[in-house]
Each structure stands twice: as structure tokens, then as C-alpha cells.
Structure 1
Amino acid sequence: MTLPNHLIPPLLAGIGWAAAAISVLWAVRAAPWEALRSAPGRLNLVVLAVPFLLGMWSLNATLMPGLTLHFLGAATVTLVIGLELTLIAGLVAALLLPLIVGGGLAIAGWTFVLSLLVPAVMTYGITRASQRWMPPNFFIYLFVGVFLSAVLGVIAHGAGTALLVMAMGLYDFDIIWNNYLRVLPLLAFPEGVINGMIMTALALVSPSLVISFDDHHYIDGR
């Protein structure tokens, strides 16, 4: 989402930035810094996550000011580097996005919350639940942890964006439904497919790069 600063009510901007700050402060405290120090090569993945997210978010189609369709990529990043590091990389991407595609920084907190925090937490929760309650099957990992979480992340992102623009008084529900929510499924399925293709390649070619995937657990002996 890109909007000029004057269209964002200060209270809403503050709420978005507060949510972003709280989540990233938690991520900084909980991040596996010791593991990164022992495997510095993984730090490259965290750094690469920033341009990856920026690239996904920059590929957008603006339906109306404030209502933009774009890929998220949050599911892939979360599955590869973990939730905590994803939040840190995502905040950097949200701060850099206005410099690339325009808009003000007032909305950047909500960009982080809706484009990264919500889908990343959903991906983490769905994947952990599937690992705990479902059989250790590679296709379950791909369909539930990767594809389904990416699709639901897009839907949650779209619903949150719709509520936010209504709270700002930009559009009423009928306009949002007819011009945005009705076409949202056209993005949700490709998001799942793209995330599925990337994660399939990583899991099969270099499973050690994917923190959420254990090839001994999912593949060996099956």
C-alpha cells in the first residue's frame, strides 16, 4: 500500500507504527543470533530477503489509490529464515519501499503489518500446526505449510487493507467489494503457486537452507 502522508490520519499511522515496533522489538530479542553466528552463511539469506520482498511488493497493480494488488512473498521468507528474522527483514523492506515506488512513510507501518506481519504469523502458525498434528509427508508440507498459508495470507492481507481504507474514510464497502475484494482471489492462487514452486526447489535442491524443512523428517525412509 502506498499513500501520501496527508491522507493518513495520525492516529491510524501511530497504531500501525506501534504494532510494527512492538513486533520487531520482540523479533530482535527472540531471534536466533547465536545460530547465525555459528552459521554466518545464513545471514546472507536474511540480507537477500529484503530485495526479495521489495521485488514482490513492487510488482503491483493499483486498482484505486490505496487499493493495490501485489505479491507478498512473506510465506517463502518465513519458511526459509524463520519468523523472527522475517519480521526484521520485513521492516527494512517496508521502510525502503516508499523510496522505490513512492508514497509517504506514514503508511509504512501498516505496509509492514498487512504485507508481512499478518501473513508471516499465519504461515508460522499453520506450518507448526501441520507439523504437530499431521503426518510428516512432503506433500502435506507443500500444500498446507506453503501453498495454503500463502493463499490465506493474501486473503488476510486484502481483508486488512479493506478495513484500513474504510477506517481512513477513503471508500465505502461497496466500492471496495466491487473494485478490490472480488478480484483478490485472482492474486491468492498465483501467490500460492509461486511460493510452492520456490519452496519445492529449495527443499529438494538445498534443504539445509530452509529452516522449516527437515528432509530426514519428511523424505528419508518414506
Structure 2
Amino acid sequence: MSYMNLLLATNSLLFWLTTCITLPILLLAVRHAPWQQVLTSQARQHALFATILALALLWLLQVSVRDTLAIHPLLMTVTTMVFGWSLATLIGAMALVALEIYQVPLHALTLDWDVAVAQFDLSTLPVDFCLSVAVPVGWAWCVLWLVDRWKFKNPFTYFWGVGFFGAMLSCIWLGLAAMLLFAVTGSDVQFATTQEHFIVFVLMTFPEGFVNGLIATVMTVLYPDMVKTYRDDWYLKD
């Protein structure tokens, strides 16, 4: 399971490029999000806020690579399957903010509280958003679009085609997108670290796919009304 966020400060080109990518995506997500459905359903509201907090907590389980990058679980594919592109994008963005907030008291356990607060830095959020939210959510939405157009109508094309294999490939796309972004912006340290440890993204494809596929299957079987992208009339059609 691989998600990546930066542990080093970004250079100005990397920051502004990712900011220019992030802002339009967030505006589109806010514009196209099904707010009426969310506001009229307490179950969807609870699921949305619980997912934000759960993702942020899960992303705390990270492994640092040479104090440059942090790799940990992703689970944005199943989030996209349940909530759709726009809400999944916003959930990922809010989970990143929550993750930064969570880390302040954790740092305070080993550092002075004032030092921990001073280390609270949101400058890497645009980069983290592009790599850990925009790329996997966009890829999951593309896979959903393709699966919806397959002639083979079977629930397993949804559970495993999107949840398992889609999530597996998202790890590879994440690593490739990171190297491209770092190469274009001249972020040499980040690029070298990502290139050297690219095998990690390959090794984590199966566990990421398995967890996403498992959660997608359970959610679709037990709570099909909560899964926005699942279509009974299509996948169960004779």
C-alpha cells in the first residue's frame, strides 16, 4: 500500500506548479459535488466525515525513506468507488489537512510543544495532493469509466476490475507521476530517492489492491445504496 508525501521543503517551482494544478481540481470538485444528496442524508454525512478521519489516521502509519519521502497506505480507489470523483477528491484534501493536524501532538511527545507547532507546515500540501489524491482518484475514475463500457456484465468486473486491479496500477502511476513531477521541477533529491526506491511501489501493488478490493466488495454487498458508482441495473443485468 503506497501513498507518498514529502518530508522536505519544496522548491518554488514545485510548489507553484502543484498549486496551479491543485486549485482548479478543487474548484471543479466543489462545483460538481452532489451537495444536496450529502446534506439530505445523515448516513452519507457520517460516512464522509468518518472516512476523512479514518484516512488521516491510517496515513499516520508511514515509513520514512531517507527523511525525504513517507510511504504508507493509500485507499483512494475504494474512496472514489464509494463517493465518486468530486467527493473523493475533497475527502482526500481534507484528510491531508487532518493528517498535518494529527502530527502536531505526536511531534510534541518528543519535542517541545512550541517547536512542534512551529514545524506545522502546509507548504507541501499541494505536492501531496497532486500525488496522493489527484493521481489515484483520477485513475480510479478512468477505470470506472472503462468498466462501465465493458460488454461483460458481472459484479466481479466492478469489485476486482476497479477495486483490485485498478488500485494495484494506481501505485505504479503514483510512482511514475512523482518521478515526472520531480524531474520537471528540478527536485533532484526527491527524484533520486523516488527513482532508487521505485521497487517499493511495485511491491506494494498487491496489498493495496487486496485491501481496496476487499473493502469495495464488503461495501457493495452490505451497503449498496452507499456506493455511489455501483449500478445494480448494469452489473446484475441478464
Measured in 2, the distance between the counterparts of 1:172 and 1:112 equals: 17
Please report the TM-score for the alignment, with normalisation by the length of structure 2: 0.82
* Deviation readout 1:116-175 (Å, 9 max, x if unpaired): 1110011011112111124221111122111121111111112222334443121564x5
Does the CA-based 8 Å contact 2:68-2:190 persist in structure 1?
A: no
Amino acid at match of 1:15: L
> Are 2:169 and 1:152 equivalent residues in the alignment?
yes
Runs of 5+ unmatched residues, structure 2: 105-119
Runs of 5+ unmatched residues, structure 1: none
Amino acid at match of 2:6: T
Say which structure, 1 or 2, has more relative contact order (CA 8 Å, 6+ apart): 2
User: Matches of residues 204-219 of structure 1 in structure 2 within 5 Å?
Assistant: 204-219=221-236
Aligned residues: percent identity? Answer: 26
Q: Which stretch of structure 1 is more off in the superposition, 72-81 or 57-66?
A: 57-66
Match of 1:3 in 2: 7
Does the CA-based 8 Å contact 1:31-1:85 persist in structure 2?
A: yes
> Are 2:123 and 1:106 equivalent residues in the alignment?
yes
Does the CA-based 8 Å contact 1:20-1:91 persist in structure 2?
A: no
User: Matches of residues 1-222 of structure 1 in structure 2 within 5 Å?
Assistant: 1-4=5-8, 7-101=9-103, 104-166=121-183, 167-170=186-189, 173=192, 176-178=194-196, 180-219=197-236
Measured in 2, the distance between the counterparts of 1:84 and 1:169 equals: 33
Measured in 2, the distance between the counterparts of 1:25 and 1:203 equals: 29
Measured in 2, the distance between the counterparts of 1:13 and 1:85 equals: 24
Matched residues, number: 217
Structure 1 position 199, deviation (Å):
0.8
- Relative to structure 1, the CA distance from residue 9 to residue 170 in structure 2 (aligned partners, 3 Å threshold; closer, same or farther) is same
Please report the TM-score for the alignment, with normalisation by the length of structure 1: 0.88
